[in-house]
């Protein structure tokens, strides 16, 4: 979020999905002082709103975060919502890392909205995991270096993503043992 200069403080944020990843995202948004956070789900519950309610009353959101599997391989032609009505939205984050760009993030970019995909978040998680488990400190610049390497290859098959995840950990591990 910081790397991409995405403003959260004082913003209205929508979190699509209500699983474990959504809970982590909500914690971050609260930490960054979001003014309002709405959890959007297929079912109406005391803690969520439906997609229908979202489209009827919350298209004034500033930030949208997708934590659902909608748009993930192999259903890459799907998107959790159409961004066209969200004229105030300045950032869309999608935790999906396969494909490297989802239909949601592609639409965001086409509308001039900052879009961040899940691959960058996945690489960052790997870096922090290596730091934690090996009790070491790594250069955060490695996140962008590894992300760019993977994104440049643009191979979205599931096996290649698994290979990339293994490469991420191997690369970070090799870096840490030589510090």
Q: Over 60: is that where the pLDDT of 177 sits?
A: no
pLDDT at 166: 74
Whether the CB-CB separation of 92 and 83 falls below 8 Å is answered with yes
Q: Over 80: is that where the pLDDT of 13 sits?
A: yes
User: pLDDT class for 162, splitting at 50, 70, 90?
Assistant: low
Whether the CB-CB separation of 15 and 25 falls below 8 Å is answered with yes
Q: Say how many C-beta atoms besides its own lie within 10 A of residue 71's C-beta.
A: 22
Mean pLDDT along residues 8-34 = 97
If one compares 22 and 137, the residue with the highest pLDDT of the two is 22
If one compares 44 and 10, the residue with the highest pLDDT of the two is 10
pTM: 0.87
- The 10s digit of each residue's pLDDT in 85-142 is 999 999 999 999 888 889 999 999 999 999 999 988 888 888 888 888 888 888 888 8
- The 10s digit of each residue's pLDDT in 44-77 is 999 999 999 999 999 999 999 999 999 998 899 9
User: pLDDT class for 168, splitting at 50, 70, 90?
Assistant: confident
Give the pair of three-digit tokens for residue 138: 């790594």
Sheet with 114-116, side-by-side order of all strands:
49-50, 36-41, 12-16, 63-66, 91-94, 114-116
**Token pair 């840490």: residue:** 176
pLDDT at 176: 63
pLDDT at 175: 64
């Amino acid at each position: 979020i910081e790397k991409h200069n995405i403003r959260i403080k004082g913003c209205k944020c929508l979190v699509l999905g209500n699983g474990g990843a959504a809970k982590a995202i909500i914690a971050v948004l609260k930490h960054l002082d979001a003014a309002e956070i709405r959890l959007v789900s297929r079912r109406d519950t005391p803690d969520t709103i439906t997609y229908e309610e979202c489209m009827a009353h919350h298209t004034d959101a500033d930030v949208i975060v997708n934590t659902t599997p909608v748009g993930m391989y192999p259903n890459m032609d799907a998107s959790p919502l159409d961004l066209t009505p969200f004229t105030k939205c300045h950032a869309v984050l999608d935790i999906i890392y396969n494909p490297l760009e989802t239909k949601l993030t592609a639409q965001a970019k086409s509308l001039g909205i900052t879009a961040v995909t899940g691959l960058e978040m996945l690489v960052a998680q790997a870096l922090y995991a290596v730091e934690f488990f090996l009790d070491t400190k790594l250069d955060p610049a490695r996140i962008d270096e590894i992300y760019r390497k993977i994104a440049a290859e643009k191979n979205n098959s599931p096996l290649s993503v698994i290979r990339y995840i293994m490469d991420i950990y191997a690369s970070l591990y090799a870096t840490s043992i030589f510090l």
